[in-house]
Amino acid sequence: MPRWILISPLLLVIGAALWAGYASQGSCVDADGVLREPFHLLALGWFFVLAGGAVMVLAAGVAVFNRIRRRK
């Protein structure tokens, strides 16, 4: 099994961990009335989850292509 196929679950786990970090930190309004929230964790979480999904689709596409090519 190629190593790049194993990257997809790793990226998905990192994205889920970032979302969990966002949920655990929560948000608050400071004395000046400014909302303090770790929005960067949401963006990074989405990036890693979408990258993991893209790698997963690519891996599945390559596997299907190779299987079709071997049958001929």
Which residue carries 């889920």 as its tokens? Answer: 16
The total of structural domains in the chain comes to 1
Q: Give the three-state DSSP class for 1.
A: coil
Rounded distance, CA 12 to CA 18, Å?
Answer: 10
Q: What is the pTM of this model?
A: 0.81
Q: Could you read off the pLDDT of 38-63 as tens digits, one per residue?
A: 999 999 999 999 999 999 999 889 88
Q: What is the pLDDT of residue 1?
A: 61
Which residue stretches of 1-72 are H helix?
3-25, 39-71
Tell me what pLDDT residue 23 has: 92
Q: Which domain holds residue 7?
A: 3-71
**2 with 60: CB under 8 angstroms?**
no
